[in-house]
């Protein structure tokens, strides 16, 4: 049997010498290393051999198998190299072919609006303050003066995050950018608790609500919060700032209207409308025949909120506002469905 193995190896290696293409090599592999090859039949016979012969034959058979496998690998590489060489020699590169068109990316329409807003507010002296997306109930609601059973706190409006937390202070995805007001005020006031510095910031970011998604409501959207705190800030500062913002973003002739409203964290509170720029205030489908388009919410920072931020409401006042960049983008481009923004559809995105 040992001689037999020697012969198997010698014949196989001699055959291998003559092979010069991949197909023949595969046939060689099947014939010499495949299931029904002479070598494999020797492995099959091992069990029937006398005990003393078994290890000797087995060892030799394994050696032959190893040798054949190594040679097969060598030959495969050799043939691949030859193949590559042939390809390089026969194929030609046509340098006169026209190039492929480069596809340019672009900024998302909401990013474009956000950047324009940063620019406008920067010119008015507002810095950008970034706050976190994951909040506690305390920051998202309690410190902003939401009463305990305010409807916005119900499970159906917020995405709560499972995990360990203090009792009555679960983690959630922020439902608005307003909790950033508290983080900012606390950071500023802790730098000098006796005489905290004035604040003039905007706080942009993604917000999340457990909404029934529709043309008007998405479960995620951006907001730009604004906050100004100082010693002599009045409601007319708020009106001036926001009327000017509206002119800069919608056009210099646009008129603004302040309507009394309610938010827990501001007092007094207002909602701001601009005169419909589609119909000039006459009434059309875009403004639902009212002549006005609602743009944002705002107000004077509630004394409790100032206090929660480390600012003495006897000395300081401030104003705040919250704007939805998707809404602004929709109005400017007459986009009728908010779901387009985060649906990643190129047919929509390519238009901006
Ligand atoms: N946080 C409010 C919301 O998500 C928006 C808002 C209204 C923010 C009035 C403010 C404000 O800062 O003063 O609906």
- 149-188 tens-digit pLDDT: 887 777 668 999 988 778 889 999 999 999 999 999 999 9
Provide mean pLDDT across the span 321-335: 94
Nearest C-alpha to atom 14 of ligand 1 is from which residue? 176
Q: How far is CA 225 from CA 4, 201, 266, 319, in A?
A: 87, 8, 13, 11
E strands along the chain, which residues?
A: 127-128, 134-136, 160-161, 171-173, 199-208, 220-230, 256-263, 266-275, 292-301, 317-323
Among the atoms of ligand 1, which is closest to the Cα of residue 261? 9
- Helix segments in 91-175, DSSP class H: 109-123, 137-140
Instruction: Tell how far the Cα of 174 is from the centroid of ligand 1, in angstroms.
Output: 12
Confidence of residue 250 (pLDDT cuts 50, 70, 90): very high
pLDDT surpasses 90 at 75 = yes
pLDDT of residue 155: 62
Instruction: Tell how far the Cα of 11 is from the centroid of ligand 1, in angstroms.
Output: 86
Mean pLDDT, the chain, rounded, equals: 93
Return the structure tokens found at 239. Answer: 């009106």
Instruction: Tell how far the Cα of 349 is from the centroid of ligand 1, in angstroms.
Output: 28
* Omega before residue 268 within 30° of 0, cis: yes
pTM check: above 0.85: no
Provide mean pLDDT across the span 54-75: 94
pLDDT surpasses 80 at 327 = yes
Q: What is the pLDDT of residues 193-231, one digit of tens each?
A: 999 999 999 999 999 999 889 998 999 999 999 999 999
Instruction: Tell how far the Cα of 195 is from the centroid of ligand 1, in angstroms.
Output: 27
Confidence of residue 1 (pLDDT cuts 50, 70, 90): confident
Closest CA to 313 of 137, 189, 192, 225: 189
Instruction: Tell how far the Cα of 218 is from the centroid of ligand 1, in angstroms.
Output: 17
pLDDT surpasses 90 at 247 = yes
Q: How far is CA 299 from CA 172, 258, 268, 272, in A?
A: 25, 10, 6, 10
> Which of 67-71, 127-131, 212-216 is least confident?
212-216
Q: Which one of 180, 263, 296, 318 would you pick to mutate in the ligand 1 pocket, going by the greatest count of ligand atoms within 8 A of its CB? A: 263
Q: What are phi and psi of 265, to 5 degrees?
A: -95, 0
Q: SS3 for 244?
A: helix
Instruction: Tell how far the Cα of 279 is from the centroid of ligand 1, in angstroms.
Output: 28
Return the structure tokens found at 274. Answer: 């601009």
Tell me the pairing of strands 199-208 and 134-136: unpaired
Provide mean pLDDT across the span 260-274: 97
Closest CA to 263 of 145, 183, 182, 92: 145
Provide mean pLDDT across the span 144-150: 87
Neighbours of 144 (CB within 10 A): 23
Provide mean pLDDT across the span 106-135: 97
Pocket of ligand 1 (CB under 6 A): 176, 178, 225, 263, 266, 297-299, 320-322
Tell me the pairing of strands 127-128 and 199-208: parallel
Name the packing angle between helices 2-17 and 38-45 (round to 10°).
160
44-53, 65-74, 165-174, 275-284: range with highest mean pLDDT = 65-74
Q: Which one of 225, 301, 306, 324 would you pick to mutate in the ligand 1 pocket, going by the greatest count of ligand atoms within 8 A of its CB? A: 225
């Amino acid at each position: 049997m040992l001689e037999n193995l020697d012969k198997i190896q010698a014949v196989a290696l001699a055959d291998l010498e003559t092979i010069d293409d991949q197909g023949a090599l595969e046939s060689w592999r099947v014939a010499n290393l495949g299931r029904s090859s002479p070598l494999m039949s020797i492995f099959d016979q091992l069990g029937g051999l006398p005990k003393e012969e078994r290890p000797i034959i087995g060892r030799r058979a394994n050696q032959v198998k190893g040798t054949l496998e190594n040679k097969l690998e060598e030959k495969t590489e050799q043939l691949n190299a030859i193949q590559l060489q042939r390809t390089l020699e026969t194929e030609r590169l046509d340098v006169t072919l026209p190039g492929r068109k480069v596809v340019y990316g672009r900024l998302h329409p909401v990013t474009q609006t956000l950047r324009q807003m940063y620019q406008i507010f920067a010119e008015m002296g507002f810095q950008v303050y970034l706050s976190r997306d994951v909040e506690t109930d305390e920051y998202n609601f309690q410190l902003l003066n939401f009463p305990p059973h305010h409807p916005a706190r119900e499970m159906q409006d917020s995405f709560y995050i499972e995990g360990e937390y203090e009792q009555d202070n679960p983690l959630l995805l922020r439902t608005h950018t307003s909790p950033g007001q508290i983080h900012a005020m606390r950071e500023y006031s802790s730098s000098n608790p006796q005489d905290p510095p004035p604040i003039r910031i905007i706080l942009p970011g993604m917000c999340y609500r457990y909404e029934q998604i529709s043309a008007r409501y998405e479960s995620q959207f951006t907001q730009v919060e604004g906050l100004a705190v100082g010693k002599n800030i009045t409601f007319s500062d708020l009106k001036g700032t926001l009327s000017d913002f509206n002119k800069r973003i919608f056009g210099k002739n646009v008129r603004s209207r302040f309507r009394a409203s309610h938010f827990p964290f501001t007092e007094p509170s207002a909602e701001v409308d601009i005169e419909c720029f589609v119909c000039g205030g006459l009434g059309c489908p875009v403004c639902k025949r009212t002549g006005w388009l609602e743009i944002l919410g705002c107000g004077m920072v509630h004394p409790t909120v100032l206090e929660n931020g480390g600012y003495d409401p006897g000395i300081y006042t401030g104003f705040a506002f919250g704007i939805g960049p998707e809404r602004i983008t929709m109005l400017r481009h007459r986009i009728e469905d908010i779901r387009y923004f985060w649906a990643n559809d190129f047919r929509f995105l390519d238009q901006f």
